[in-house]
Amino acid sequence: MSSTYFNEIWHQSQHECELLSTIDYERQHQDVETTVATMNAAVGSVAADADAKALLQSSLYEFYLRYICLCNRLEDVYDNMIQPQKRQLVRKLLDACLGRVIELKHDLVNIDLMEFSYNDAVVDRLRLTPMETELRVSRYFLRERQQELEFRKRTMQEILVKLGWLEEHELEETVATEIEAIRMLQMHERARQGRLRAHFMKEIRILKEKGKSEERTEKERSDSGLLAAMKIQKMWRGHTARRITRRRKMEEMILIGMLPPPAAVLKERAEKLEKLQRNEKRHEAQVVYAEQFETRQRLVQEEIRQKHGASMKEDIADEIRAWVKDCYEKTGKLPDFPTEDQGGSLHIFSRPGTESEHSRSSARSSKESRKTKDKSKSPARSGDLNVNENQEEDVSFQPAPSICLPDIRTEIDLFNDTWRDKDEAGVLSQAAYEDMIYSDKYQEVELEFRRAVDDVMRQEIELLQTAVGKKLKKSSKKTRRSGKKNKKKKEKDLTPDRTTESLYEELVTNGIIRKYPELKLKQFLGDKALTARNGTNPSPGDIRQILTEYCILPLGSDAIHNCTPLIRSILLAGPRGSGKKALLHAICTEVGAVLFDLTPANIVGKYPGKSGLIMLIHLVVKVSRLLQPAVIYMGDAERPFMKKIPKTDRTDPKRLKKDLPKLIKNIAPEDRVIFVGTSNLPWEADQKMLQSVYNRFIYIPRPDYGAMSYAWKTLLHDYSGGVSNLDTSAMAKISDGYTIGAIDACLKEVMTCKRKLQLRTQPLTNAELINVLCTRDPVYREEEEAFESWWSKTPLGRRRQRFLELEEERLIEEQAQAAKQGNGNKKKGTN
């Protein structure tokens, strides 16, 4: 696809984003209380609250789905677009829209009182498929950090080799020389001839032994020949019948679309390869044009400094002096000069009635100041969003104000001013526009010199005030703010003289920083839910999406992390084999995170004593901040908070019990660090302590029939290379109650190298898999009930339980009122 195609998609996405953000902005500023009051006048207050809540959920869910579709298109545009200036704008808009998706997700969680939201009517109205409603992980998270990630992998490889945990030279595929190839062929040919000779000698020996026995009669020989012919005939007829049946079955499956035709498979592979090659060329071109753009920016900036630097400083200084003189003549007092946080002299001339010729030229600067004003008006949502607070009594809901909407509107205004009406007909080059580079860099240099001139002007005004006889008034607010900063206890650095590399090597040596298998999130098999479900029975696709929104997006981008609600920790709970650790590895892989393992079994014997534990927590917090993004992991998350530890347990799991809450609190809002725990038995922990550590609780249930059937089909194809024609629907029914982890382990045990080689002659049977599957324990109903009971005791579960009780009370009241009215009507009729 050409750059023109993606340019058109970009313009369409910008237009849709403008319409969507306008409606979203108007909806946010509606008076919700007026709407509820109007409904209260018509019906009962409790019923009005329920109706208003349903209406609000429908509206929020529609915005949520539309923003997801928009983000998927923008991500595709950003990944394929080459022009560097356009890519900058698309990237900012993409990050803002992704942040808005996360904000809407948190609003939906608060209104639905469960982690997973559904509304089939909205999906049907928008005419979307479940696959289209799944948010894709942005590919730039890894691509733009490729060199950093490769360097980190090499460093870990060198450390592990030095420790002797890995072989120094891994086996690599090498191209053999001609002489080596000839020697290899000779060796195999001699071995083949030796096997033939041994087989021939074995046959001669058998014939000699047969000759020693008594000679058979002519009749016996004729009978044996007839039996042999019949046996050969029987085997051949069976073979041809099976081959014809297999061919007919294959043709039937191709006809009904269950299997792709062989030619189509080859064509599809060729198209995929061609697409990959085309994408690689695009990504290489992106890097080349981005480097040219950065080089040109530096040269233009230096040129502006040299040519216009002196005159620019003089103009700004004269402008400020004229303003000071004008204020002094009008008021008889010297004005207070705005601080740098307030915007300096730019704040003076951005006010109405104070514009000068020089400030009017700074269109971009005024936009930036307007953007900061909008941000300052909206309350911060980037604080710790803790659903563990007791909100059971307050079941009413008001959506939180958005931080991302002003950013979206700013980027849309910039697009409308610069790119919407730009004539690019016949422009085939994807290089940056020189006039835009000059305009942007001129404004940057102007702001840079303006800050320097502001400092000089502050000193001049201070001298003038001293000369006039008045002391400079200090802002009391500033002193109060600085006093608060001084009161805040600064963390003591226990390793001030050590480099990041040495700390990283120490943690790798002790096994705290671990190497993890690279798994993509899409390898967590299963589709999104086709219809609405309850909060304790999500589909695999729903789990993928919520982890994308809670973990991957905030960790992957600094811009998204800074404008979305903060989640410091998350607990993944589910039966053994449900894929908790695979999801953890997928989170780390998608963002290229560093994995810190604080599982009790992993830290036993490491950093002993109280001082050692303090050092361990300090190193984990410090290195995770230095090597962002980072994931701190704890397996068996319930064990530090268990009421009674088994006597056979030698890992001392309660060692981190008191320090875990401190560790979570030490994750600052600006840190792209998340604490992830996994648990098979979360109900065994002290729930109060567990909820003080984890902000969110995600339950991963056993897979349903659809997910199990898809898993069997995918895993069988991976293990057999598409050779097996096993009935996956029957296996999905038989394996109901097992997890996908158990299915994967079963196939791994059955599909050995020898069995794979025998697949063409001996097809895989259901009995082979069932015999191995029977040796594993399924997820029993009692365990599922224990998980559901535990989830109902989580903060969100309690709030939902309270809401359901209120709903039930409302229905009982309505039924009682209806019955009373019916009885009254009957009495009137009898009278």
The DSSP secondary structure of 727-794, one letter per residue, reads: -HHHHHHHTTT--HHHHHHHHHHH--HHHHHTTTTS---HHHHHHHHTTS----HHHHHHHHHHHHTS
In whole angstroms, give the CA distance from residue 201 to residue 456. 104
Show Cβ contacts of residue 68 under 8 Å, excluding neighbours closer than 6 positions: 101, 133, 134, 135
* Sequence-ordered strand ranges (E) for 562-603: 569-573, 594-597
Domain residue extents for the chain:
499-702, 705-778
Q: Which two tokens stand for residue 636?
A: 């068996």
Beta strands 594-597 and 513-514 are antiparallel
Specify the pLDDT at position 174. Answer: 61
- Spans in the chain with pLDDT lower than 50: 31-33, 35-36, 38-44, 171, 352-383, 390-395, 470-488
CATH superfamily, region 499-702? P-loop containing nucleotide triphosphate hydrolases (3.40.50.300)
Specify the pLDDT at position 821. Answer: 78
Cβ pair 503, 495 in contact under 8 A: yes
Specify the pLDDT at position 31. Answer: 47
Nearest residue to 571 via CA among 660, 444, 474? 660
Specify the pLDDT at position 587. Answer: 93
Specify the pLDDT at position 351. Answer: 52
pLDDT tens figures, 531-579: 878 777 888 989 999 999 999 999 998 999 988 888 999 999 999 988 8
> CA dihedral defined by 691, 693, 696, 697, rounded to 10 degrees?
-60
Specify the pLDDT at position 221. Answer: 61
Burial 98-117 (b: 16+ CB within 10 A, else e): bbbbbbbbbbbbbbbbbbbb
Specify the pLDDT at position 826. Answer: 65
Specify the pLDDT at position 765. Answer: 86
Specify the pLDDT at position 400. Answer: 81
Specify the pLDDT at position 43. Answer: 44
Specify the pLDDT at position 552. Answer: 93
DSSP 685: B
pTM for the complete prediction?
Answer: 0.80
Show Cβ contacts of residue 593 under 8 Å, excluding neighbours closer than 6 positions: 555, 587, 629, 630, 631
